[in-house]
Structure 1
Amino acid sequence: MSDQYGSPEPRTIRDATVDVLRGLGLTTVFANPGSTEVPFLTDLPTDLRFVLALHEGSVVGMATGWAVARDRPALVQLHTTAGLGNAVGALATARVNRAPLVVLVGQQDRRHLDLEPFLTGRLRDLAGSYPVRVEEPVTAQEVPAAVARAHHTAADARGPALVIVPMDDWSEPCDEERVHAAAGTVVRAQEADSSRLAGVAGLLDTAENPALVAGAGTDTEEGWAALTALAEHLGARVFQESFGARAGFPQDHPLYAGVLPADRPGLRDAFADHDVVLAAGAPVFRQYPYTSGPLVPAGTRVALLTDDPEEAYRSPVETAVVAPVASAVRGILERTARRTGPPRTRGGESSPAPPGENEPLSPSHVLAALAQRASPETVFVEETPSSRPEMHRLIPARRPLGFVSAAMGGLGFALPAATGIRMADPERPVIAVVGDGSSMYAVQALWSAARYSAGVLFVVLSNGGYAVMDRLAEQQGGTPSWPSFPDVSVAGVARELGCPAHCVDTYAGLVTELDEAVPHLEQRQQPLVLSVTVDAQGVFRP
Structure 2
Amino acid sequence: MTTVRDETFQVLRRFGTTTIFANPGSTEIAFLTGLPDDIGFRLALHEGSVVGMATGWATARGGPAFVNLHTTAGLANAAGALATARTNRVPLVVVVGQQDRRHLAHDPFLAGRLEGLVGDYPVWTDQPVRPQDVPAAIARAHHEAVTAAGPAIVVVPMDDWEKPAEPRRGAAALEVRRPMPSTLDGLGDLAASLDAARSPAIVVGAGADDESCWAALVALAERLGAPVWQESFGARAGFPQDHPSFAGHLPPGRSGVRTALADHDVVLVVGAPVLRQYTWEPGDFVPDGTTVLQITQYADEAHYSAADVAVIAEPAHVCRRLAERVVPREVSPAPRRTPDAEPEPGEPLRPAHVFDLLAKQLPRDTILIEESPSSRPELHRRVPARVPLGFVSAAAGGLGFGLPAAIGLKLGAPRRPVVAVLGDGSSLYGIQGLWSAAHYHVGVLFIVLANGGYAVMDRLAERSGLGKAPWPAFTEVRTSTIAAGLGCPARHITTHEELTEVLGDVLPSLAGRTSPLLLDIEVAPDASYG
Please report the TM-score for the alignment, with normalisation by the length of structure 2: 0.98
Q: Check whether the contact 1:504–1:531 (CA below 8 A) recurs between aligned residues.
A: yes
1:495·1:501 contact (CA, 8 Å) conserved in 2?
yes
Structure 2 residue 139 is matched with structure 1 residue 148: yes
Give the distance between the partners of 1:47 and 1:432, measured in 2 at CA.
Answer: 30
Per the alignment, do residues 321 and 182 of structure 1 end up closer, same or farther by CA in structure 2, a change over 3 Å counting? farther
2:156 is equivalent to residue 165 of structure 1: yes
Question: Aligned pair 1:120/2:111, yes or no?
Answer: yes
Partner of 1:516: 505
Residue pair 1:80, 1:107 contacting (<8 A) in 2 also: yes
Local SS of the residue matching 1:529: strand
AA aligned opposite 1:52: L
Q: Displacement of 1:180 after TM fit? A: 5.2
Question: Helix, strand or coil: the match of 1:459?
Answer: strand
Shift in Å, 1:183: 5.1
Q: How does 1:16-35 map to 2 (within 5 A)?
A: 16-35=7-26
User: What is the DSSP-based 3-state SS (H/G/I as helix, E as strand, rest coil) of the residue aligned with 1:522?
Assistant: helix
Distance 1:475 1:52, change over 3 A: same
Correspondence for 2:30: 39
Q: Which amino acid aligns with 1:80?
A: T
CA distance in 1, matches of 2:166, 2:417: 48
Deviation, structure 1 residue 29: 0.2
Report the CA distance between 1:115 and its aligned residue.
1.2
Deviation string 1:240-295 (CA, Å, 9 cap, x unpaired) is 00000000000011111110111111111111110001110011001001000111
Kindly indicate whether the alpha-carbon contact (under 8 Å) linking 2:205 and 2:270 is maintained by their aligned counterparts in 1: yes
Q: Distance in 1 between matches of 2:362 and 2:452?
A: 26
Task: Provide structure 2 residue ranges, at least 5 long, that are not aligned to the other structure.
Answer: none
* 1:306 matched residue in structure 2: 296
Equivalent residue for 2:529? 541
Tell me what 1:264 maps to. Answer: 254
**Deviates most, 49-58 or 109-118:** 109-118
Deviation at 1:195, TM superposition (A): 3.2
Number of the residue aligned with 1:108: 99
Structure 1: give runs of 5+ residues left out of the alignment. 1-9
* Matching residue of 1:457: 445
Report the alpha carbon displacement of residue 205 of structure 1 after superposing the two structures with TM.
Answer: 1.6
Amino acid paired to 2:364: P
Tell me what 2:219 maps to: 229
Which of 72, 75, 80 aligns to 1:89? It is 80
**Is it true that 1:371 corresponds to 2:362 in the alignment?**
no
In structure 2, which of residues 187, 191, 195 is the aligned counterpart of residue 201 of structure 1?
Answer: 191
* Aligned partner of residue 491 in structure 2, secondary structure: strand
1:329 aligned residue: 319
Within 2, Cα distance between the matches of 1:254 and 1:423?
Answer: 33
Residues 192 and 324 in structure 1, CA contact (< 8 A), matched pair in contact too: no
CA distance in 2 between counterparts of 1:388 and 1:475 reads 18
Q: Which residue of 2 aligns with 1:293?
A: 283
**Does residue 443 in structure 1 map to residue 431 in structure 2?**
yes
- Work out the percentage of aligned pairs sharing the same amino acid: 56
User: Which string of whole-angstrom CA distances, capped at 9 and with x for unpartnered residues, describes residues 57-92 of structure 1?
Assistant: 000000000000000000000000000000000000
* Counterpart residue number, 1:387: 375
> For the Cα contact (< 8 Å) 1:192–1:331, is it kept in 2?
no
CA drift of 1:196 comes to 3.3
Q: Secondary structure at the match of 1:50?
A: strand
- The letter for the 1-side match of 2:472 is P
The 8 Å contact of residues 385 and 468 in structure 1, kept in 2 or not, is answered as yes
Q: CA RMSD in A?
A: 1.1
Query: Which letter maps to 2:311?
Result: V
CA–CA separation in structure 2 for the residues paired with 1:540 and 1:270: 20
Contact 2:247 / 2:336 at 8 angstroms: preserved in 1? no
Matched with 2:335 is 346
- Residue 67 of structure 2 corresponds to 76
Summarize deviations over 1:27-52 as a string: whole Å, max 9, x none.
00000011111110010111000100
- For the residue of structure 2 that corresponds to 1:119, the secondary structure is coil
Q: Does 1:396 align with 2:396?
A: no
* Amino acid across the alignment from 2:522: T
Query: Residue 370 of structure 1: CA displacement?
Result: 1.2
**Contact 1:64 1:101 (8 Å CA) reproduced:** yes
Gap change, CA 1:158 and 1:146, over 3 Å in 2: same
Alpha-carbon distance in structure 1 between the residues aligned to 2:8 and 2:321: 41
Q: Tell me the residue number matched to 1:7.
A: none
Aligned-pair CA distance for 1:181: 2.8
The one of 53, 58, 63 equivalent to 2:49 is 58
Q: Find 1:357's aligned residue among 325, 340, 345.
A: 345
CA shift at 1:418, angstroms? 0.4
Cα deviation code 1:329-369 (max 9, x no counterpart) = 11222332222x231132222111x2122111111111111
